[in-house]
Amino acid sequence: MLARRGFLTLLGGLVMAGFGTSTYAVGVEPFQRPLVTSYALRPANWPAGLKLRVVVLADIHACEPWMPVHRIAGICDQASGLGGDIILLLGDYMSSLRLTGFVEPARWAEALARLKAPLGVHAIIGNHDWLNDPVARLAGHGPTLAHSALAGVGIPVYDNRALRLEKDGRSFWLAGLADQLEPTYPAPDGSGMIPGLDDLPGTLAGIDGDDPIILMAHEPDIFVDVPRRVSLTLAGHTHGGQVRFLGYSPLVPSRYGNRYAYGHIVEHDRHLIVSGGLGLSNLPIRIGSPPEVVVIDIG
């Protein structure tokens, strides 16, 4: 058995370790300069000769003090300097951390306007962008405040639509889904509420030919329904769980738990990359899941 002095020493060590971990989780890791996480892949249906660098930003969650405008601007400058052919924004620009300072949409959008890439900057909307716009959420349709802010700085938003783009004489499609969780609306048969406005079949129906497809989806859960026709699905939303140890996250906002929590997932020759994101959701902590900017070299 431990002597009293030994017990008190052990107890004090545990308390200090807990205090140190909490301090790090709240005051250090969330404020880190984003890591650059790089992936290189060539999906089975990707044409030879088409090389594309995609830079991805997800889950900014603009708020004081964790994600103020000057920090967003710095992240945008960092992302623009990574040599991407195209920059994709995967939603959740707004924050639901109610105890922090609110950042007006026009201000975070002005920071995002610093992003530059030859094939442009393209965006989708996330669930927190609806949750923080009660008027649009109650109406059951946009534009949300985030839609309007992005439009105001010339960044197109993809709500169940696709656009053909070209690089070096070769074409590919960029598609984006409306959010899968918000807003909710009554089922036509009165059986309850239906979440989200996403329409994967309708989005893909507007794509013709055999050119490859990159799909933007805020939540990764849609991946179970994505056909092999799609070369790469990109998602955010999970924040890597915000707390992650040895590749495991104890709490992931997904029906599939850790299956789609973070990183590069390959299932049945289909590729999904889930970003750990930049900001914070619900709890102001990050530990083992630092902010990140994702770079993907395809081809």
**pLDDT digit string, tens, across residues 122-158:** 999 999 999 999 999 999 999 999 999 999 999 999 9
7-298 homologous superfamily:
Metallo-dependent phosphatases (3.60.21.10)
Mean pLDDT of 13-24: 53
Mean pLDDT of 199-221: 97
- Other beta carbons within 10 angstroms of residue 63's beta carbon come to 22
The pLDDT value given to residue 85 = 98
**Average model confidence (pLDDT) across the chain:** 92
| Banded pLDDT at 20 (limits 50, 70, 90) | low
Tokens found for residue 89: 């924004």
Tokens found for residue 126: 């996330």
Residue 16: Cβ-neighbour burial (10 angstroms; 0-12, 13-18, 19+): exposed
Q: With pLDDT > 70 as the criterion, what percentage of the chain qualifies?
A: 92
Judge whether residue 202 has pLDDT over 60: yes
- The domain locations on the chain are 7-298
The pLDDT value given to residue 15 = 37
Residues in the chain: 299
The pLDDT value given to residue 1 = 44
Least-confidence region, from 6-20, 133-147, 209-223, 241-255: 6-20
**32 and 274 in contact (C-beta within 8 Å)?**
no
Tokens found for residue 2: 């431990």
Q: What angle do CA 197, 285, 72 make, to 5 degrees?
A: 65
Mean pLDDT of 59-63: 97
Note the pTM of the prediction, 2 decimals: 0.91
**Using one digit for the tens of pLDDT, what is the confidence trace for 67-87?**
999 999 999 999 999 999 999
